[in-house]
Amino acid sequence: MSQDKTEQDIKGYDPVILKKIFMFIRPYRLIAVIAVLALFFATAAEIAIPLLLQRTIDTHILNYWVLVPQKVVGNETVFIQNQSFIRKNEAKKLGYATNEAYYLFEVNKIPPELPAGIQNKLIKDNEQAAILLEDLRGLPQKQKAFITSQDKKGISRATLLFLLLLLCSLVFSFIQIYLMALTSQNVMKDIRQKLFSNLIRQSLSWLGNTPVGKLVSALSNDVETINELFTSVFISFLKDISIMIGVLIAFFVLDVRLGLITLATLPPVVLLSLIFRQYSRKAYRNLRKCVAKVNTFLSEHIAGMSVVQMFAKEIRTAGEFDKDNHQLLKANLSEMYVFATFRPLIDLLAYSSVAVVIYFGAGFNKSGLVSLGVLFAFINLIEKFYDPIKDMSEKFNIMQSAMAGGERVFHFMELKNVIKDDSAEQKLNLSDFKGHIDFEKVCFAYKEDEPVLRNLSFTVEPGERIAIVGYTGAGKTTIINLITRLWDIQSGNISIDGLPIKSIPLSQLRTLVQPVIQDVFLFSGTVRENIALGRDFSQEEIEEAAKVVYAHDFILGMEKGYDTLLNEGATNISAGERQLLSFARVIAHNPGIILLDEATANIDTETESWIQKALDRLLEGRTSIVIAHRLSTIRNADRILVLKQGEMVETGNHEQLLEKRGLYHTLYELQYVQSAN
């Protein structure tokens, strides 16, 4: 996948990518469903709070009633001595005078010391009483508190319910966040595992042409963007949408007229969001291009810092970086400008909606069409409606990043550049193999029209030690890669004990055939772990393998022996010690065939003498193919194959080839002269 594709053609929403991501949720769908339910409960509690406030204001704080001259049955009509009392707002709506307002309370709340004048004006029956609001306000504080105690209890109950709703919102939000994070982390674990499992099965031809940084970025950064899609985007979008829907429903439950007026203020918000989305995507694409350019520059020049310093290019390099860095600054500022413009505009529209609601709501309140509690609830709900819009705008970039990251992840996950293993289900008895190798007219090329091996044929008998020499590029290392099927040949046949290697399961082939390469690779970990390499060897088996190749003594001399930690690249031990550990690893795994590629190329002459002793023990009794530039290390080979441009031009032992005075003699003379100098 090209950088242009991944960085420029970024989609804000891709249902295909989302479908692939959600496929990984299936094993955890119960947890995800519970998380979504918890989200809806938390949202319901959040929406219920303004409704509770409206009810508290209209029922307990503004508990004002009007006595109407005839029996009227309206909302919350109360009858005292066959007289109709309706709420003040309801009276306005029905066209009754509201100059005299009453306060209704329980009859047992009449103070015994109530003045006779006020007592005579009370309207009461066996259950309730009504006192003129004007008279109530003129009473002493103690009597007033005694009469209004029922509303104080109602306010206390509402306060308790308010706290309960807040607690419910907190608890369900915690459950939702925790369960969604749990689901997300499990999904990320599965995606990383599947992605890594697929990558390690890809052919070397593909892996060699793909930058390591891109693969590491896909496994870490891109997968993390998918994690953010769950934790920051998906659940937030669900919550934002549910809040917006809940608020719209609450608008029309409270008052249809005011709800329609509020709804009429929303089209500018929709239009602004669409415009923002376009500008945001453009700014994000430009930012990603600049980030990629800066990262590429840093990666190349930090890795090649020695070259920069050797050629005194520090000032020029810093100048080039300054240009790229300035472009990144401009891209960041452009993106910030988009958000800095959008956010205040949304705030402006939110306040405009509030202003419109206050203007019309105040008129409706005077006309008795809307209570003060409803108007208060509308203002509160409008704020709740606009908060998700702001939140979604901030999450839009994360959505774009997740889409781009998801596209890269699934591109790598669906790669099929693998060495075919048609015999994977077949199991062979490796102990039956003798180690007979046949190359029959093998042709191979890494690139088309650039052949490396041309009709190469040779045989290696069981237990025989074969050496391969030739100029650089003759195809020596390629032979090792082909025997282990790191690459597949274009034509010809390679067989072991008469079985074509393609008919041997890869896992068994690479257990039977073990290479020891020039650049020894040891993992960060203990010496024991590097020898065992995932196999369940006992300590005695590991030590025995180390003793065979003369590595046991130097290992015991280390700080913690076999438990000594090797750092990255095993730079805390010498090249010779690294090579001995690689030999011990091969001995422990006990292959039937050993392939050595320049095993002593990076070893000094003094170290080579005791490395050679370890090699002799390593190869004893095994079929082996040895590649070495130092011809002195292969004098004892049973046969030496001399390659030139992918073809075998000479074969024989050391003395025979010197007598022929051909290519081998030339190579030997060149090394002898170089050594003498």
Q: What is the 3-state secondary structure (H, E, C) of 547-614?
A: HHCCCHHHHHCCCCHHHCEECHHHCCCCHHHHHHHHHHHHHHHCCCEEEEECCCCCCCHHHHHHHHHH
Residue 425 lies in a domain: no
CATH code, domain with 241: 1.20.1560.10
**Residue 156 pLDDT class (50, 70, 90 cuts):** very high
Domain boundary among 383, 413, 443: 413
Residue 498, token pair as written in the block: 């008469």
Same domain flag for 448 and 561: yes
Q: How high is the pLDDT of residue 38?
A: 92
The H-or-E segment that residue 442 falls in is strand 437-447
The H-or-E segment that residue 451 falls in is strand 450-460
| Distances 84 to 79, 104, 124 between C-alpha atoms, Å | 5, 12, 12
Is there a contact between 80 and 128 (Cβ–Cβ < 8 Å)?
yes
CATH code, domain with 617: 3.40.50.300
Model confidence over 522-577: pLDDT tens digits? 888 898 988 888 788 889 889 888 888 888 888 888 888 999 888 877 778 887 88
R_g over Cα of the chain: 41
Is there a contact between 587 and 514 (Cβ–Cβ < 8 Å)?
no
Same domain flag for 553 and 455: yes
Residue 50 lies in a domain: no
Select the more confidently predicted residue: 95 or 106. 106
Does pTM surpass 0.85? no
Same domain flag for 191 and 246: yes
Asked whether residue 352 carries a pLDDT value surpassing 80, the answer given is yes
Residue 424 lies in a domain: no
Model confidence over 601-649: pLDDT tens digits? 555 555 566 677 777 777 777 888 988 766 766 777 889 999 988 899 9
Same domain flag for 144 and 84: yes
Residue 545 lies in a domain: yes
Residue 512 lies in a domain: yes
| Distances 519 to 57, 256, 516, 578 between C-alpha atoms, Å | 80, 78, 9, 10
Same domain flag for 377 and 499: no
**Residue 299 pLDDT class (50, 70, 90 cuts):** confident
Select the more confidently predicted residue: 551 or 74. 551
Residue 495 lies in a domain: yes
Q: How high is the pLDDT of residue 165?
A: 93
Same domain flag for 376 and 460: no
How many domains in the chain?
3
* Mean pLDDT, rounded, of the chain: 83
Q: How high is the pLDDT of residue 607?
A: 59
Per-range mean pLDDT, top range of 48-62, 281-295, 404-418, 632-646: 48-62
Low-confidence winner among 137-141, 343-347, 367-371, 535-539 (lowest mean pLDDT): 367-371
Same domain flag for 484 and 406: no
According to DSSP, the β-strands at 525-526 and 565-566 are antiparallel
Domain boundary among 85, 119, 154: 154
**Residue 168 pLDDT class (50, 70, 90 cuts):** very high
Domain boundaries, position 458: 435-676
Residue 483 lies in a domain: yes
Same domain flag for 442 and 574: yes
Same domain flag for 390 and 449: no
Same domain flag for 139 and 173: no
Same domain flag for 376 and 472: no
**Residue 673 pLDDT class (50, 70, 90 cuts):** low
Residue 191, token pair as written in the block: 């995606």
Same domain flag for 104 and 203: no
* 369/116 Cα distance (integer angstroms): 37
**Residue 493 pLDDT class (50, 70, 90 cuts):** very high
Taken as a whole, the chain contains a residue count of 677
Asked whether residue 10 carries a pLDDT value surpassing 80, the answer given is no
Residue 173 lies in a domain: yes
